Amino acid sequence: MKRILLLGAGRSASSLIAYLLKNAATENWFITIGDISVAHLQPLLAPFSVAKAIPFDVHNQKQRAEEVAKADLVISLLPAVFHIEVARECLRQEKNLITASYVTPAFLELHQEAQNKNLTILMESGLDPGIDHMSAMAIIRRIQAEGGKLTSFKSYTGGLVAPEFDTNPWQYKFTWNPRNVVLAGQGTAKYIKEGEYKYIPYHQLFQRTDAFYVDGYGHFEGYANRDSLSYREPYGLLDIPTMLRGTLRRPGYCEAWHAFVQLGLTDDSYTLENSERMTYRSFVEAFLPPPAIPGESIEERISLYLGIPVEGEVMQKLAWLGLFEDTAVELAGATPAQVLEKILKKKWTLSPGDKDMIVMQHLFEYELDGEQREITSSLVAIGDDEIQTAMAKTVGLPVGILAKLMLQGKIPQKGVVIPIHPELYEPVLEELKEYGIDFVEQERSLVS
């Protein structure tokens, strides 16, 4: 029997857990699921003799070592900051590891040791990063096999709310870690356009957007991810003139989010004095200059400070969140970003029965036999409800499929690996189709 240790049972883990349970009997697996709190898992696991849940503290070195020692494969869906300690434990115990999170410099330092020990640390195996790599590489290799030369590659992904449950002016609800949403985009975005390197500092990021259209689902806007350049080498596109990876939102979202950035509400680098005594209104006022005229409303002050219409759509979005109300913050020692996260969670949480939506779109331009061509490849996935979300499916299912391949001995790559190899992405993309996760391609000539 092969033993799987899954660490992390949060909102992105539901579909992965269901996949592992579904395959446990035929694959001869026993699954141990560890998290700080596992009470919510007991009813789910009760019918299964092939799985158990345990309270798990990743900071408990003794427990971490004991549980990893029992496993044939470790999967970590913990918050990304905790993956590195799990990875180091896996190396000490000579166990393979799968995560959905980005490769970081700290992980790259483990690459040689993992290779020397004949181990695989498979990362970026969820949605974005994950399915984006796999689906893009399938098309890139196909174009190259036909003799085409890539001249432009753009890829955008968004976790959004399904249209029929799109009930607020932001056209957005949380489908993954709210903290990551609040801190999204911080740093400088880097990409290449028509052979020139481009940089967008954080304070301008949400003003520099591109427009998109997906058949049947309407219009979207996209802003650049932090680093699009680092994927040129893994994708085999070092000489490509244009390459950009980004995040999708509905039109108008980025303009309103830019107001938060300008005000300083997304800053996570310091704590606010007496934050527990603040209200939403006093929190916002703390970032505004004094009134230009006595009696000036907070809306008028924001309008003047940010240069936005006092009756415009951005102000309406801010007001809808309750930012101008005297609701108590009730957070001690909080950063601005933590206060904003609490405010947003009250308004952007999926309600019972709500369904989310994942939208991914790749745009390829290439030359073939002297002709300029374009391929647009689009994925739309809809969740079942607020628990079995599209986000959980698209993060968890590829991780589960790759875990199966790993335990079947079908992943030959060693070291720190991402799923850009055909023996990884081909079976994953094929099996994802069984779950309705499939891309629609449109191809056309760019010659008018």
CB atoms within 10 A of CB 60: 12
- 427-441 pLDDT, tens digit per residue, is 999 999 999 999 999
Place of tokens 């081909």: 426
Over residues 219-245, mean pLDDT: 94
Phi-psi region of 252 (alpha: psi -120 to 50; beta: other; left: phi over 0): left
Q: Which residue has the higher pLDDT, 323 or 292?
A: 323
Q: How far apart are CA 28 and CA 407, in angstroms?
A: 10
Q: CB 319: neighbour CB atoms within 10 A? A: 15
SS3 for 230-296 is HHCCCCCCCCCCEEEEEEEECCCHHHHHHHHHHHCCCCCCCCCCCHHHCEHHHHHHCCCCCCCCCCC
φ and ψ at residue 412, rounded to 5 degrees? -80, -20
Cα–Cα distance measured from residue 350 to residue 344, given in angstroms and rounded to the nearest whole number: 12
Range(s) of the chain covered by CATH 3.30.360.10: 131-252+354-390+437-445
Write down how long the chain is.
448
Q: What percent of the chain has pLDDT over 70?
A: 100
DSSP-derived pairing of the beta strands 210-214 and 218-224: antiparallel
Half-sphere exposure of 248 (CA within 13 A, CB side): 26
Q: Note the Cα 159 to chain centre separation in Å.
A: 8
Number of helical (H) and strand (E) elements in the chain, helices listed first: 16, 16
Gap between the terminal Cα atoms of the chain: 60
pLDDT number for residue 388: 86
Arithmetic mean of pLDDT, 101-110: 93
Phi, psi (degrees; rounded to nearest 5) at 381: -125, 135
Q: How far is CA 427 from the centre of its chain?
A: 22
Residue type present at position 271: T
Report whether pLDDT(447) > 80: no
- Are 155 and 307 in contact by the 8 Å Cβ rule? The answer is no
Percent of the chain with pLDDT over 90: 83
Superfamily of domain 131-252+354-390+437-445: Dihydrodipicolinate Reductase; domain 2 (3.30.360.10)
* pLDDT per residue as tens digits for the range 286-304: 999 988 788 888 999 999 9
pLDDT digits (tens, 9 = 90+) for 157-201: 999 999 999 989 999 999 878 898 898 888 899 999 999 999 999
pLDDT greater than 80 at residue 42: yes
Burial class (CB in 10 A: 0-12, 13-18, 19+), 76: buried
d(CA 192, CA 262): 26
Fold of 2-127+392-433: Rossmann fold (3.40.50)
Q: What is the pLDDT of residue 448?
A: 56
Mean of pLDDT over the chain? 93
Would you say 421 and 348 are in contact if contact means Cβ atoms under 8 Å apart?
A: no
CA 206 to chain centre: 17
Say how far residue 217 (Cα) sits from the centre of its chain: 20
What are the start and end residues of each CATH 3.40.50.720 domain in the chain? 2-127+392-433
Preceding omega of 129 cis (within 30 degrees of 0): yes
Q: 3-class DSSP state for residue 375?
A: strand
Q: CA Rg, the chain, in Å?
A: 23
CATH 1.10.1870 placement within the chain: 257-348
Phi, psi of 98 (to 5 degrees): -125, 135
What pLDDT score does 226 carry?
Answer: 87
Chain center to CA of 307: 32
Question: Looking at domain 257-348, which of 2.70.50, 1.10.1870, 2.40.128, 3.30.200 is its CATH number?
Answer: 1.10.1870
> Which tokens hold the place of 113?
């040791």
The pLDDT assigned to 296 comes to: 85
Question: What is the rounded average pLDDT of the residues 388-401?
Answer: 94
pLDDT, position 292: 76
